[in-house]
Structure 1
Amino acid sequence: MSFTQKHLDAIERAIARGEKTVRYSDRTVEYRDVDELLRAREEIRSSLTSTAGPRSRVVRLSHGGKGI
């Protein structure tokens, strides 16, 4: 399944409220316990970070010349 930030937000709201039911657009998922919610959150996080691709890097350029 392809996860989005909305999926992660919904899971985190449920964890914060102590709920076991999460609604995603047209579906409702009821988790057995908080541990299962936490595992789902980690799966979504890892999926989002792996699909995000490499992070951009900051490159600093310096000039060693005499100037004007």
Structure 2
Amino acid sequence: MTASIRLSNLITRSLSSRAAAHRAMAKSALFADSSASTRLKRYNHHIEKAERLEASALDNAKRSAGGAV
């Protein structure tokens, strides 16, 4: 049981780190040397990806806690 909890924590941290990276990419997309529509598309893409990763991290945390979170 302990090993599975550690693994789920690692997965959750990894997903959260990836989400943070996508949020950073979204912010930098706003300042890129591209057209406004391209910057907005890139921003939205990265924000949506970050939201999906955060949702996955939350689901993993709930499963590892037995649904108590």
In the superposition, the TM-score normalised over structure 2's length comes to 0.47
Higher relative contact order (CA 8 A, sep 6+): 2
Hey, which of these two has a bigger chunk of strand by percent?
1
Hey, which of these two has a bigger chunk of helix by percent?
2
In the superposition, the TM-score normalised over structure 1's length comes to 0.48
Point out the structure with max Rg over C-alpha: 1
